[in-house]
Amino acid sequence: MPVNPLLMDGKTVLVTGASSGIGRETAILLSQLKARVVLVGRDVKRLEETRANMAASNHLVQSIDLIGGDLIPGWLRKITAETGPIAGLVHCAGIHQAIPLRVLTAEKVDDVMRTNVTSAIMLVKAFRQKGCCARPASIVLMSSVAGIVGQSAVSAYSASKAAICGFARSAAMELAQEGIRVNCIAPGYVSTEMTDTLRDKLTPDQFIAIESSHPLGLGMPRDIAYASAFLPAETGRWITGTTLVVDGGFSAH
């Protein structure tokens, strides 16, 4: 009988941002593919809600504010002392801010970069520590089409997501000899709580324009979760240093 290459029996995957949206859906899908999942976020109650919707019951909940970058390596060592080496990291946590340049401040730029870029770099640094990750292993970082296609009023956010793509390419080259693959996913606009917040800040016509710019319509969290599972599974074994665009055709214009 053919073996399903997406199944992740016996593998542990850490998913950040697992309390909502893409992170939550990714964690649920990975559990359905038989992975053991470490759910990471700041809100334990919401992480528990995610765990309640997952297949099996062997998953772990871990609360941390990833902005404290220097604490991440020690934190991950404590987790892997309990779980054993981790086979995959899917980093979905991050923030989206729509701030026109005329009101953008250095402090707001620092907030976006620290949350979206520094946390990703420090997670990857922590993941490759001896004993923390299995070999082979996979890292998936969440970028955005905003890091590929120019849009007004999101300059700092776009810069942070473009930085993630560049970091992933360099990290992929550095870590290939250690058996660790590093890739990005660049989603278009997906129906999540973050998108709902953006909708509230725009006029109806502005949001309709965003929707109509996606030939296949807005995506759903499961659309990105499928990609998030494809890359760490056996299906992604020969893929590293790339950005997988999943955007309903948004960037094809």
111 membership: H or E segment, kind and range: helix 106-113
Q: Domain residues for 55?
A: 12-244
Residue 85 domain-assigned?
yes
Q: How far apart are CA 229 and CA 24, in angstroms?
A: 13
Residue 250 domain-assigned?
no
Q: How far apart are CA 134 and CA 11, in angstroms?
A: 9
Q: How far is CA 234 from the centre of its chain?
A: 19
Residue 208 vs residues 24, 31, 152, 204, 251: alpha-carbon distances, Å = 26, 35, 16, 6, 17
Q: How far apart are CA 77 and CA 135, in angstroms?
A: 16
Q: How far apart are CA 1 and CA 34, in angstroms?
A: 18
pLDDT (mean) for 31-47:
97
Kindly state the percentage of the chain with pLDDT values over 70. 99
Catalytic residues, by residue number, are 157
Instruction: Please state the domain count of the chain.
Output: 1
Q: Evaluate the CA torsion angle 231, 237, 243, 249 in order and state its sign.
A: negative
pTM for this model (two decimals)? 0.94
Helix (H, G, I), strand (E, B) or coil at 141: strand
pLDDT of res. 201:
72
Residue 118 domain-assigned?
yes
Q: How confident is the model at residue 196 (pLDDT cuts 50, 70, 90)?
A: confident
Residue 106 domain-assigned?
yes
Tell me which of 151 and 19 has the higher pLDDT.
Answer: 19
Residue 3 domain-assigned?
no
Residue 2 domain-assigned?
no
Tell me which of 154 and 118 has the higher pLDDT.
Answer: 118
Task: Calculate the average pLDDT of the chain.
Answer: 94
* Lowest pLDDT segment from 80-89, 149-158, 214-223: 149-158
Q: Which domain CATH number covers 153?
A: 3.40.50.720
Residue 144 domain-assigned?
yes
Question: Is residue 189 pLDDT above 80, yes or no?
Answer: yes
Residue 112 domain-assigned?
yes
pLDDT of res. 62:
95
pLDDT (mean) for 109-138:
96
> How many residues are there in the chain?
253
Nearest to 187 by CA among 154, 161, 152: 161
Query: C-alpha angle with apex 78: 110 to 36, nearest 5 degrees?
Result: 95
83-119 pLDDT, tens digit per residue, is 999 999 999 999 988 888 999 999 999 999 999 999 9
